[in-house]
Structure 1
Amino acid sequence: MMTRQRILVVDDEPANLNLMRQILKDDYDLAFAKSGQEALRSLRVKASDLVLLDVMMPDMDGYEVCATLQADPRTRAIPIIFCTALSDSVDEVRGFDLGAVDYIAKPVRPAVVKARVGTQLALYDQNRACEAQIRLASQDIISSRLHALQMLGRAAEYKDNETGLHVVRMSHYAELLARAIGWPEEECELIKHAAPMHDIGKIGIADHILSKPGRLTEDEFAEIKRHPEIGARIIGEHGPTSPLFELASTIALTHHEKWDGTGYPRGLKGEDIPIHGRIVALADVFDALTSRRPYKEPWPLDKTLDFLREQSARHFEPVLVEQFLTHLPEATEIMGRWGDPGVAE
């Protein structure tokens, strides 16, 4: 039996949501949101194949929602159809510039809604099929770039005696989180392969600082805080033709940023931090706390989980903390499979 496609309908008017339900319920699985923020939360929890988006909504209008979805790798490819009573061509141009694929004028006509939705979903499926073919054709190139990153990772292991199996575990935690929030398979694989490069910049930090068993001085910590930018420079900027290197560079640069804006090197806050950096931040800290380091013994699991809860909306994105705790059995399986001696149970 073929899986039905899922559509998210976003409108602040219950009557409009009910009308769309009546038009589409026989052919699609439907989800509904009454505000822009509710729509974004819904898509973080479960992906949709298309979004029908009202323009005129309080607090966060449809244009802002569209721009946010286009900026997020998790939702960038989802087709967006605006449903609006606005008729000015300037409004339509603005929507298309932001990434919408079509407009449906209100009051809507059922035949028009079904035709426009069907057309855009067919194009979406076609685009995904083409992308799959391109991925297969590019596999050799991807493999060679992955091999280059792995060599960099081995170089970092010789430099940083904390590494051990840390990069293996944290990359699997990152992949676990990506799957938990609904990323497609190829994005989950990409972050798993790029995440081990997060600390490559420690190659540029003095050995006596990295291996110091006691508390760092202010000057030593300032030196440590240089490693994200060093790492991004080592990996370099390779542009859209090399998403693996581009992602590894982003992760290296942003995995010490914090949700509340108190991280480094740039003090980014909330969703200004790239989602890949937010994922790796949680994966990295969880493994660091539950592992033995030169300056500490491993924390027990319950103490580590309490810390994650405490740091939700401070160090970490709340949605990611919630998803990690929900998928704790898978995380503990990763701990057991690639555990270092002395890791607390």
Structure 2
Amino acid sequence: MTPSASADRAVGSAIGYSSPESGKPLSRPVVLLVDDTPFNIDVLRGVLAGAYTLKVATNGEKALALAQMQPQPDLILLDVMMPGMDGYEVCRRLKANPQTRGIPVIFVTSMNEVEDEQHGFEVGGVDYITKPVSPPLVQARVATHLRLYAHERNLSELVAARTRELESTRLEIIRRLGRAAEFKDDETGQHIIRMSHYARILAEASGMSAEDVEVLFNAAPMHDVGKIGIPEAILMKPGMLTEEEWKVMRKHPSIGAGIIGKHDHPLLETARIVALTHHEKWDGSGYPRGLKGEKIPIGGRIVAIADVFDALTSERPYKPAWSEADSVAFLRRESGRHFEPRLVELFIQHLPEIRHIRELYADQGPQPAPGTAAWEQLPEA
């Protein structure tokens, strides 16, 4: 191994970059040098060229552009006194941009007053080197901050991977619990798939943020989890429910909310709210709390429409599937009573997408009979 290659490997190892023995070239850190004076650039090149891949900018605008180009710099050495945009402003803009805010910035300048250093740290710099530079000092500071940056990125990646794993686990628990409720009550798991997609379409149309839409989509399958706590004699009853049996049936939203419990996590909390409120009605005649209008959480209002529409358009042992036209007519009749009028209109406006989901996740063949009490007793078409 040549002395130069040996030095490269030592630097790469010190800062956490791999240096394979297979003969492949070392993946070297990228350092951006920013200075309006060519002599200063040349000095830093001489100090760092053997161990790093170098990019050069002679003004602030070019520095900001290079910082966003691939491969992005792993570290920036930044002069302060430059015409036009000075180094402090360059650093401010780097830290304001999500794409570049994590890149460590070391100021390299002849401004050596305590106030200058303090200002550099205030705008986001990680270190401050004064000119004329000491080559060993520059090498040591650069290696140290590259090592810290590599460690932070590795830690962030580990945290992100763990977070994704936890999110995946939560989602799977939500889906399995939702499926458990369907096994006890409904004849097909396609129902929760369809109504969840309907809820997502309506949530997007209503103006929810992309993040909230995705949360509702994944929480919707839990809407009827409380039916796990309803006796099968009631759930599976082939005839009409008595008033006493309906009192028991109407407990399932509260049971579902209790099963899920209160959580700070948005997904679980949304699932709890949806389970509790998807049988509330716009005019206040729903259950379990008789909430009215916008006092019903938006997730519950959306899932109410998605759930009922899928029940209407699906074949059940106790009824044939209603036509789309009859189902839409029912939504319109119940607009302002059962459902929020604005959401009904939005749902109808997106019927082509709803229709596509219904066809994509259609029930396959006849299904086992669950009994008429599994759903709300809806009026005749």
TM-score, structure 1 as length reference: 0.58
Q: 1:277 aligns with which of 281, 288, 300?
A: 300
Structure 2 counterparts to residues 11-26 of structure 1, below 5 A: none
Structure 1 residues 159-168 or 134-143, which shifts more?
134-143
| 8 Å contact from structure 2 (residues 199, 303) kept in 1 | yes
1:186 equivalenced with 2:211 (yes/no): yes
Taking only aligned residues, the RMSD between alpha carbons, in angstroms, comes to 2.6
Match in the other structure for 2:240: 215
1:126, 1:296 → 2: CA distance?
A: 58
CA contact (8 A) 2:179 2:189 kept: no
Q: In 2, Cα distance between the equivalents of 1:143 and 1:254?
A: 25
Judged with a 3 Å threshold, the aligned counterparts in structure 2 of structure 1 residues 186 and 305 are, in CA distance, closer, same or farther, namely: same
CA contact (8 A) 2:229 2:255 kept: yes
Aligned AA (1:150): R
Is 1:265 matched up with 2:288? yes
CA distance in 2, matches of 1:315, 1:157: 24
Q: Which residue of 2 aligns with 1:244?
A: 267
Tell me if structure 2 keeps the 8 A contact 1:259–1:315: yes
Structure 1 runs (4+) deviating above 6 angstroms are none
> Which has the larger Rg?
2
Distance 1:237 1:298 in 2: 37
Which residue, 196, 200, 225 being the options, matches 2:221?
196
Question: Structure 2 counterpart of 1:324, which letter?
Answer: F
Distance in 2, Cα, partners of 1:164 & 1:291: 12
CA contact (8 A) 2:254 2:288 kept: yes
Checking the alignment, whether the CA contact within 8 Å between 2:188 and 2:363 is kept in structure 1 is no
SS in 1 for 2:280: coil
- The aligned counterpart of 1:90 is none
1:328 aligned partner: 351
Name the counterpart of 2:171: 146
1:139 CA displacement: 2.6
Q: 1:338 aligns with which of 339, 361, 365?
A: 361
Q: What CA distance in whole angstroms lies between the structure 1 residues aligned with 2:335 and 2:160?
A: 39
CA contact 2:178–2:223 (8 Å) conserved in 1: no
For residue 126 of structure 1, report the CA deviation from its aligned partner.
Answer: 7.4
- State the Cα distance separating 1:341 from its structure 2 match: 4.2
Judged with a 3 Å threshold, the aligned counterparts in structure 2 of structure 1 residues 295 and 308 are, in CA distance, closer, same or farther, namely same
Deviation, 1:232, is: 0.4
Query: Mind listing any 5+ residue stretches in structure 1 that lack a counterpart?
Result: 1-121
Partner residue, 2:255: 230
Partner amino acid, structure 2, of 1:225 = R
Q: Distance in 2 between matches of 1:252 and 1:164?
A: 17
TM value normalised by structure 2: 0.53
Paired residue for 2:328?
305
Inter-CA distance 204–126: structure 2 relative to 1 (3 Å threshold): farther
* d(CA) in 1 for partners of 2:205, 2:160: 25
Letter aligned with residue 228 of structure 2: I
1:210 shift after superposition: 1.3
Mapped partners of 1:185, 1:139: distance in 2: 18
Residue of 153, 166, 170 corresponding to 2:191: 166
Q: Give the fraction of aligned pairs with identical amino acids, expressed as a percent.
A: 57
Q: One-letter code of the match for 1:328?
A: L
Q: Distance in 2 between matches of 1:148 and 1:175?
A: 19
- 1:174 and 1:195 in contact (8 A); partners too: yes
Using the TM superposition, give the Cα deviation of residue 213 of structure 1 relative to its aligned residue in structure 2, in angstroms: 2.5
Q: Kindly state the Cα deviation for residue 141 of structure 1 after the two structures are TM-superposed.
A: 2.1
Say if 2:319 is the partner of 1:296: yes
